[in-house]
Structure 1
Amino acid sequence: MSAATDGGSHDVELATYRAATDPSQLQTQIIRAIVSLVSSRSIEDIKPNSPGVSRSNVSRLWKEVGHKFVCELRGKDWGAQSW
């Protein structure tokens, strides 16, 4: 709470609270974990007590955004790589 100029008070939204409750932040973290080869079944272990980290939700999220990563891989010029 913060004091208002009229002597009353009002709630102030903290940027940290807004970031912590933003579902897109959690989704970004889940995608980063999967791209880093964390099993979708292990996301619950990494983010316990977070909404939307059940295996079915993580799988659904990966279905929605995973195609972007696959398209990036397919579009890369792998001939330029030195293995």
Structure 2
Amino acid sequence: MDIIQHSIAVGKYLVSPLIKDLDDGRYAASVSIRSGRGSGTHDRVMRFTPSFASHAAAVGYAIDQGLGWIRERSAPRTPCAA
């Protein structure tokens, strides 16, 4: 599994793609999104169902998904008009 080589720090988050070689020669992708420090560390891991023909494609997908998750939580929220 490839973890450290492609990690990206984004604000308070560390996005780390987790790539696994499959028996059929394809690659599975997951992503770890870590925040906090010490005993306050929180690590969210998402596993994805598509498999990929190349390691690079799996890494790219995992990073895109992790960054998308961060963007959703970082976007300013507008109050609802009642």
State the TM bucket, normalised to the shorter chain: under 0.3
Q: Which has the higher helix share?
A: 1
- Give the TM-score, by structure 1 length: 0.27
- Give the TM-score, by structure 2 length: 0.27
Q: Which has the higher strand share?
A: 2
